[in-house]
Amino acid sequence: MRNDRIRAVRESRVLDADAVSAALDRLADEIIERTRDTPNHLALVGIRTRGVPIAKRIEERIAARTGRAPDFGVLDITLYRDDLTAIGEQPVVRRTDLSFNVDNAWIVLVDDVLYTGRTVRAAITALIDFGRPRMIELLVLVDRGLRELPVHADYVGAQLETTAEQTVRVHLSEEDGGDEVLLQE
């Protein structure tokens, strides 16, 4: 008789819906402050999947505070990943939508979690295929550390100290029915 042990996943909520909203408010304010005097046009570019609704929410907050919405774009990095063969035989490639001129733009790339830095590297490579931005900055809702590449976020909603064995899950109402950040053991 085989005796398999089932490992229970423990998880704890590190941000609830109110904390996510407060972080997005603060991030929008930081972008407004940092880009206030730039002559370049500002664009928020969400990295699929959860970077897109985060970028959209921040775009709406900036528009409400300043009366002017930044450009908004969606970036699919599937074909730029360095682990493309590991994610499946037929990876799903979705639409990239950058309906503004990338040249000379101040672009804030937006993602949910910063971990190894490989997603950001792929996103920068993909973005540069569309033109030459004046500036590329990175905004993440959660920075969990443990980088493998020399990448840092310019705007961080929450900083978590994690181990490689832990997982950070971001749930957003647009994708998951509610807002929260979970740390899974």
Summarised one tens digit per residue, pLDDT across range 159-174 is 999 999 999 999 999 9
Band of residue 86 on the pLDDT scale cut at 50, 70, 90: low
Summarised one tens digit per residue, pLDDT across range 125-183 is 999 999 999 999 999 999 999 999 999 999 999 999 999 999 999 999 999 999 999 99
Summarised one tens digit per residue, pLDDT across range 19-29 is 999 999 999 99
Tell me: pLDDT of 4 over 70.
no
Q: What is the pLDDT of residue 1?
A: 46
Domains, in order of start, for the chain: 11-184 (3.40.50.2020)
Q: What phi, psi does 147 have (nearest 5°)?
A: -70, 145
Tell me: pLDDT of 9 over 90.
no
Those residues with Cβ within 8 angstroms of residue 54's Cβ, 6 or more apart along the chain or in another chain: 24, 46, 110, 111, 112, 139, 141, 172
- Asked whether the bond before 116 is cis by omega within 30 degrees of 0, the reply is no
Summarised one tens digit per residue, pLDDT across range 102-112 is 999 999 999 99
CB atoms within 10 A of CB 1: 2
What is the distance of C-alpha 103 from the center of its chain? 21
What are the tokens at 61? Answer: 């907050």
Band of residue 91 on the pLDDT scale cut at 50, 70, 90: confident
Tell me: pLDDT of 90 over 60.
yes
**Residues above pLDDT 70, as percent of the chain:** 92
Q: Are 42 and 108 in contact (CB under 8 A)?
A: yes
Those residues with Cβ within 8 angstroms of residue 95's Cβ, 6 or more apart along the chain or in another chain: 74, 76
Band of residue 87 on the pLDDT scale cut at 50, 70, 90: low
